[in-house]
Amino acid sequence: MLTKADIEQYFIAEKNAGMLLLIMGAAAVLIAVIFFIFLKSPIYKGAAWPLIILGALQLGVGYTIYARSDKQRIDTVYAYDMNPGKLKTEEFPRMEKAIKGITIFLALEFVLLAAGILLIWANRLFFVNVQPGGSAFWVGIGVVFIIQSLLLSGADYLAYKRGKEYIARLEHFISKP
């Protein structure tokens, strides 16, 4: 059974997830800047590029989630009391779309993880004869891909679980006579 408290909890958790993404993105960008300015070896230069790109994406997504959560929470609680049909026509389809989006992000994060592993593996296998120790630039990229994919997939998995629980409660609520 869906309650107003369930709606409140869901959107507060979403807002907190948005803040976490903001913090992760800011940290990634800051680390990238430090790598660019102070640590100029190839491995740090390689790590800096995906950190700045993924960090900027995290900042954008985190801000979007954080900024819209309060309005969505208020609108959904209001609809629960005043216009329950809106939960069926707007909130439920929005959540189905959100779950599909999270599933796509999880798949992309798996690809990022595989790419990171492949970059490190290929570097050790193929480039070790060209340069002693291989190409550290590509190792830096691979390491960041692995770390970021694990962090992001963890956050997205929690969002997926939260969303599936919320959508199940919504479905039960909108299907009752």
pLDDT of residue 130: 52
Cα distance between residue 95 and residue 55, in whole Å: 25
Q: What is the pLDDT of residues 44-91, one digit of tens each?
A: 999 999 999 999 999 999 999 999 999 999 999 999 999 999 999 999
pTM: 0.89
What's 128's DSSP letter?
T
**Cα distance between residue 3 and residue 171, in whole Å:** 12
The predicted-structure confidence for 25-41, as pLDDT tens digits, reads as follows 999 999 999 999 999 88
Is the pLDDT score of 126 beyond 70? no
Task: Tell me the average pLDDT across 2-15.
Answer: 97
pLDDT of residue 145 exceeding 70, the answer is: yes
